[in-house]
């Protein structure tokens, strides 16, 4: 039995058929679900990260993702989720960015995005590559550009470079907002909600500009119902 087959076999033992059916109905993506709780996969991944060197973890992560088993993909992503990777993390970033081109739903995309965000923090120059994802025909790849950059929205004490990155990602959100896609809207909203705790003024500027087309409920949440109602009234008068 290969190492990948052994890991999948252990996940199957940890699974629950009733939970698997619920997960399949919730996620909708056509793949095998085992019904393993996320907390148990996380503990499993922590153990495996300690047991293997980086090249082995990369090989295991690729194989687990290619298995198509939901929990296998999650385990693979978690094997690569680490703040500091020595001696260098180029292969890890290559794997994650390759996965991003084939994302087909939020659950796996968000798990891989957590690993990817740490690689972007380690080398922000990689944002140049992420920006090209905005032109992808894959909705989930476009969405990942926002999800993977969430750490910059959450920074409590941003430096000049961080402010520049925030402005850059907000420009991405402005590009995606006209699509009016609910999944993209949710990703934009999550980014703005996180940023509002650090820079409410910047969020307001966005919502009064390119974010004006976001759902009314979200704009009311961020700006206040009275402000949004007043803005809507002005729009009606203009019409």
Can you spell out the DSSP letters for 128-169? Answer: HHHHHGGG-S-HHHHHHHHHTTHHHHH-SS--HHHHHHHHHH
Please work out, in degrees rounded to the nearest 5, the angle formed at the alpha carbon of residue 174 by the alpha carbons of 184 and 200: 95
What integer best gives the mean pLDDT of the chain?
A: 91
pLDDT at 117: 98
State how far the Cα of 149 lies from the Cα of 171, in Å rounded to an integer.
13
pLDDT at 28: 80
Within 10 A of 154 (CB to CB), how many other CB atoms are there? Answer: 12
State how far the Cα of 107 lies from the Cα of 1, in Å rounded to an integer.
28
pLDDT at 221: 77
Q: What is the pLDDT of residues 73-128, one digit of tens each?
A: 999 999 999 999 988 999 999 999 999 999 999 999 999 999 999 999 999 999 99
pLDDT at 19: 95
Please work out, in degrees rounded to the nearest 5, the angle formed at the alpha carbon of residue 195 by the alpha carbons of 181 and 175: 35
CB–CB of 192/148 below 8 Å? no
pLDDT at 225: 62
Lowest-confidence segment of 26-35, 142-151, 182-191, 209-218 by average pLDDT: 209-218
Q: What is the pLDDT of residues 181-237, one digit of tens each?
A: 999 999 999 999 999 999 999 999 999 899 988 888 888 777 766 544 545 544 433
């Amino acid at each position: 039995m290969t190492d990948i087959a052994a890991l999948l076999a252990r996940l199957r033992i940890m699974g629950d058929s009733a939970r698997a059916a619920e997960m399949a109905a919730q996620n909708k993506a056509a793949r095998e679900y085992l019904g393993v709780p996320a907390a148990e996969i996380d503990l499993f991944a922590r153990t495996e990260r300690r047991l293997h060197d980086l090249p082995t973890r990369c090989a295991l992560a690729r194989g687990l993702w290619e298995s198509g088993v939901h929990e296998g993909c999650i385990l693979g992503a978690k094997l690569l989720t680490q703040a500091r990777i020595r001696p260098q993390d180029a292969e890890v970033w290559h794997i994650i960015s390759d996965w991003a081109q084939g994302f087909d739903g939020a659950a796996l995309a968000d798990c891989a995005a957590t690993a990817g965000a740490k690689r972007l923090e380690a080398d922000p120059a990689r944002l140049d590559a992420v920006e090209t994802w905005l032109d992808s025909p894959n909705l989930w790849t476009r969405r990942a550009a926002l999800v993977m950059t969430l750490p910059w929205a959450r920074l409590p004490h941003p430096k000049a470079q961080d402010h520049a990155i925030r402005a850059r990602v907000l420009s991405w959100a402005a590009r995606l907002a006209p699509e009016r896609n609910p999944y993209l809207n949710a990703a934009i909203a999550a980014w703005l909600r996180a940023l509002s705790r650090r820079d409410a003024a910047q969020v307001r500027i966005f919502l009064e500009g390119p974010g004006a087309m976001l759902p009314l409920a979200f704009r009311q949440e961020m700006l206040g119902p009275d402000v949004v109602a007043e803005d809507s009234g002005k729009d009606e008068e203009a019409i």
